[in-house]
Amino acid sequence: MKDRRYIISGAGSGIGRAIAFKLASEGAGIILAGRNEKKLEQTLKLLPSGNHLVVTTDIRHKENCEEVSRILSGTHLDGIISNAGVGGENYYGEDDRWNEIIDTNLSGTYYFVNSFLNQLKESNSPNKHVLLTSSVLAKLGVKNYTAYCASKAGLLGLMRSWAMDLAEDHILVNAICPGWVNTNMAKEGMHGIASGLGISLDEFKKIAMQSVPLGRMAEPEEIADLVHYLLCQKAITGQVIDINCGSVMSS
């Protein structure tokens, strides 16, 4: 991956941080994108030395993404990894989080990727990719997760359409569907569900793992290994890759 450059949204923690570290360890230059500059700088300090960069942007706003694209105008890109997202429950009514979740996970991905597509198209790289982080909940329903499930399912349709649109530009587009991953976001989600059920976090973990054939959460580094593979291959496009310890298999 020497001399390749990737921009990653949501790179300040969890899966995004693990992907950044994996690709940087293979010699790639990384553009770390996200809302929280402090967390992005923390990720930057963890990366092997190289040609890396931090940019702050709120992908919910088209103009923010386009401004970063202008700042990076002329920057070589080999791939766009749209990983940023928010989770949690939503309830119809005055405090509904529908817009927050849809605007980040679905619309934000649309804005982020489109803002950098021209740079990717203009690249002379023989191996160009767009990769979206969806979720096992794109395929499964969870009570009170209407916005999250809808947003992650929407990403799969977006991915397939882009795969068709961008094939003529030799850009491969795929999505991954993680299940429970050992990240702070997952722990917060577990805690919220456990509280709603009136049980402890440990009790909910045991219940959650009963529907996972391998009986465990994936590690962020395992997701990063899959991303690395997908960015190195030249024949897979328009596909959804499950990496959820067998959760979909048991559905």
Per-residue pLDDT, 148: 96
> How many angstroms separate the most distant Cα atoms in the chain?
55
Say yes or no to pLDDT of 249 above 80. no
- Kindly report, residue by residue over 55-78, the tens digit of the pLDDT: 999 999 999 999 999 999 989 999
- Domain contains 248: no
Name the band, by pLDDT with cuts 50, 70 and 90, for residue 228.
Answer: very high
Residue 132 · residue 172 · CB < 8 Å: no
Please indicate, yes or no, whether residues 115 and 199 belong to a single structural domain of this protein. no
Please indicate, yes or no, whether residues 114 and 236 belong to a single structural domain of this protein. yes
Report the number of distinct structural domains present in the chain: 2
pTM of the shown model: 0.92
Main-chain phi, psi angles of 206, to 5 degrees? -60, -40
Please indicate, yes or no, whether residues 107 and 206 belong to a single structural domain of this protein. no
Per-residue pLDDT, 67: 96
Please indicate, yes or no, whether residues 95 and 209 belong to a single structural domain of this protein. no
Domain that holds residue 208: 183-217
> CB-based contacts of 174: which residues, under 8 Å, 6+ apart?
129, 130, 131, 132, 159, 163, 230, 236, 237, 238, 239, 240, 241
What amino acid occupies position 102?
I
**CATH number of the domain where residue 143 is located:** 3.40.50.720
- Domain contains 250: no
Per-residue pLDDT, 191: 83
Name the band, by pLDDT with cuts 50, 70 and 90, for residue 248.
Answer: confident
- Kindly report, residue by residue over 17-69, the tens digit of the pLDDT: 999 999 999 999 999 999 999 999 999 999 998 899 999 999 999 999 999 99
Please indicate, yes or no, whether residues 66 and 189 belong to a single structural domain of this protein. no
Please indicate, yes or no, whether residues 150 and 210 belong to a single structural domain of this protein. no
Q: What is the average pLDDT across 136-152?
A: 94
Name the band, by pLDDT with cuts 50, 70 and 90, for residue 193.
Answer: confident
- Domain contains 93: yes
- Domain contains 82: yes
Per-residue pLDDT, 181: 92
More confident residue, 85 or 192: 85
Say yes or no to pLDDT of 223 above 90. yes
User: Going along the chain, which residue ranges are E strands?
Assistant: 5-9, 29-34, 53-56, 79-82, 128-133, 171-178, 239-243
Mean pLDDT of the chain, nearest integer: 94
Residue 31 · residue 72 · CB < 8 Å: yes
Name the band, by pLDDT with cuts 50, 70 and 90, for residue 250.
Answer: low
Please indicate, yes or no, whether residues 38 and 153 belong to a single structural domain of this protein. yes
More confident residue, 210 or 238: 238
Give the whole-angstrom CA distance, residue 241 versus residue 218: 14
The rounded radius of gyration (Å) of the Cα atoms in the chain is: 18
Please indicate, yes or no, whether residues 202 and 117 belong to a single structural domain of this protein. no
Per-residue pLDDT, 15: 97
Please indicate, yes or no, whether residues 203 and 151 belong to a single structural domain of this protein. no
Say yes or no to pLDDT of 119 above 70. yes
Per-residue pLDDT, 79: 98
- Domain contains 136: yes
